[in-house]
Amino acid sequence: MNGAGLSARRILQRYYVAHDLPGRLRLRPLPEVLHGPLSSAELLVLKSAFPGAAVTVSPLTGSIAIRYGGVDGDLPAPVMPNPVPGKLLSFLYPPVVNFVLAVFRAFPYIVRGGAMAARGRFTLEALDAAALLVCLARRDFKTLSALTFFFAFGEFLADWTRKKSRCSLEKSLTLQLNAVWVRRESGEIRISYNDVREGDLVVARQGAAIPVDGVVEEGEGFVNQSSMTGESLPVARGPGKSVYAGTVLEEGELVIRAARVGRGTRIHALALAIEESESLKAAVQGRYERMADAIVPYNFLLGGLVYAVSRDVRRAGSVFLVDYSCALRLTAPLAIFTAMREAADKGVLIKGGKFMETLAEADVVVFDKTGTLTKASPTVVDVLPFGGRGSDHILRLAACLEEHFAHPVGQAVVRASEKKGLRHAEEHTRVDLVVAHGIASTWQGKKLCLGSEHFICDDESIVLTDEQRGIIDRESAKGRSVLYLSMDDELAGLLLIEDTLREGAADVIRALRVDGLRRVIMLTGDGEKSAAAIAGQLDIAEYKARMLPEDKAAFIRDLKRQGHTVAMIGDGINDSLALSAADVGISMAEGADIAREVADVVLLNGDLAALLSARAFSREALRRIRTGFRNSVGWNSLFLAGGLLGLLGPGLSALLHNATTAAIAVSSMRPFTGGGEVGEQGEGA
């Protein structure tokens, strides 16, 4: 640390290390330490204490992220250097230089392997170290150089297959608010977001993100809560109603009594749960690494037995130089990398090999409704006129009123009118918005009202006939929202609004069942009628309505306890906790930043059919890894036998071993498809 170190040290005493990952350190406030958020001066002190690093603080999570190696938060983390250029240049160096380079490059592997062996862990690293030590003992520097190259190349490829860049979680969740308006006795004042406290009266205006969890004290408005609850349409909020940080006020103005701020908000709780879940995922070893590690002790036993019987270092060295792990080190990452690249061409981003394995083995798939199975875009699906009026007339009048406002339902009405080519003159008088209820105006001397049932039937006292009530009940049972238009004292017409299904969703559901999925389940924050309607259209027998984010995650965990391998598909902040709880989380590309961040698989083009391609590519990648492993065991067993019988020396054994490894690796990189068959057929071979 520089001269600001003492101050920085005092600041850091309030935090503990939550994650220490390559290129990134995350600090989280100690729960027993009571203090407010970092001030601007404290942040400057921290930044000066870590020169060359990017220091960011999240007001929502309260954590500090310190990045080094990629100082801009969006830069990729450092990756292993590509050893191929250095290997090519080595052919131009004199022997003495290659000797020094070989020893220099082997030293880290020997140290690492020796440390593992000293702890009683006979892993691949320990076997690599033994092979390199045999080469050094025999002064076989050509073999030593070849081995270090293959080791480095395998590490490079494995590192490359990992996700190269990841936006920080707190950046995905940040509301991007620098200042907030609050009401004081002297009037409204503008204060820093970090200075908002529980009990403050926070003023939220149309188009702004709500910065706190709280209860509405004054005002009325429509709030888009899809990010938190999954509801497809904005909901009316007035005095006494709860609102949440991260949701958006689309219409009106609200004065909110802050109940939870900063790290106390629901969105912060989601962030912490997701971070913990992600850190657990990162600690899991791949199946094939464990398989390779399981073979290593037998290599050591065999090598020791050979030396004990023959006292021949040459023969014992052949055992260490011909192992079964090198091919796996290359085959697995190369097969996965090829599958990832071709899957991306098909519109699927898969973030790592372990997610491919899980996706291929998933037997239950759980869908979010809004934005995943549906488009999350309201659409007018029908117009029902009454009193001898025409449907175009009703739609024209409704569009004439709605075009003055930016409400999503109103925009759907305007789009429907434009699609039919309807034109209208401005014959109505001043348009009044009755916030959270509807619109009122006068047309040709008649009073027009457009809005909810409460507005039309309760506020305006319009009486519905039995026939009209029956129609409304029938359409509501289909999951449609109903927009009422009255003229004077009678109902003039109904506009039926629907969040339409995503193209091909029903076909994908059927194909997933054919593809081996035992259960297909839909979860949604919407009401029972809407959920039942969508589930019926998609032939989904299992669904749950009115699910909060915590409910979705709990449901996923319960499925896992039952022994299922669960794939979860969602697109909103409200889905992110469930995505992280699932064995493999899948997000739509147009979904919320946090959903894409947490997800292990992203459908880049919004096409659900890409999920079938992803499963097919995953199965094919795993098949190639298994095939490569079997080939490695078969061929290297022959080379091992040749070394034990004295037919192959260490140099020739290493050459054959490396050549076979390269051939298996190249085979794993061959194109997965001949024009897209894997993705289209849904099969991996």
Instruction: For 38, list phi and psi in degrees, rounded to 5.
Output: -60, 140
Tokens of 328: 């796996």
* Three-class SS state of 527: coil
CB atoms within 10 A of CB 402: 24
Instruction: For 603, list phi and psi in degrees, rounded to 5.
Output: -85, 105
Tokens of 562: 């039952």
CA distance 337 to 158: 9
CA distances from 44 to 9, 55, 191 (A): 13, 9, 20
Beta-bridged to residue 543, according to DSSP, are 522
CA distance 147 to 279: 33
CA distance 495 to 221: 22
Instruction: For 286, list phi and psi in degrees, rounded to 5.
Output: -75, 150
Tokens of 412: 């759907």
Per the CB < 8 A criterion, the answer to whether 521 and 509 are in contact is no
* Given the residues 128, 200, 368, 600, the one annotated as active site: 368
Tokens of 430: 């001043």
Cα angle 232, 236, 238; round to 5:
150
CA distance 90 to 144: 13
CA distance 226 to 240: 20
> Which run of H or of E encompasses 191?
strand 187-192
Beta 584-588 vs 566-570: how paired, if at all? parallel
Beta 542-544 vs 519-523: how paired, if at all? parallel
CA distance 492 to 451: 12
CA distance 655 to 541: 58
Query: Who contacts 414 (Cβ-Cβ below 8 Å, separation ≥6)?
Result: 399, 402, 403
Verify whether residue 368 is a known catalytic residue: yes
Per the CB < 8 A criterion, the answer to whether 102 and 148 are in contact is yes
CA distance 290 to 35: 45
**Exposed, middle or buried: residue 425 (CB in 10 Å: 0-12, 13-18, 19+)?**
exposed
Tokens of 601: 């698989």
Token match 């006068």: residue?
A: 442
| Residue in 103, 130, 102 with CA at minimum distance from that of residue 116 | 130
Tokens of 281: 């995922």
**First and final C-alpha spacing in the chain:** 56
Give 26's Cβ-side CA count (13 Å radius): 18
How many whole angstroms from its chain centre is CA 616? 20
Beta-bridged to residue 465, according to DSSP, are none
- The residues assigned a catalytic role are 368
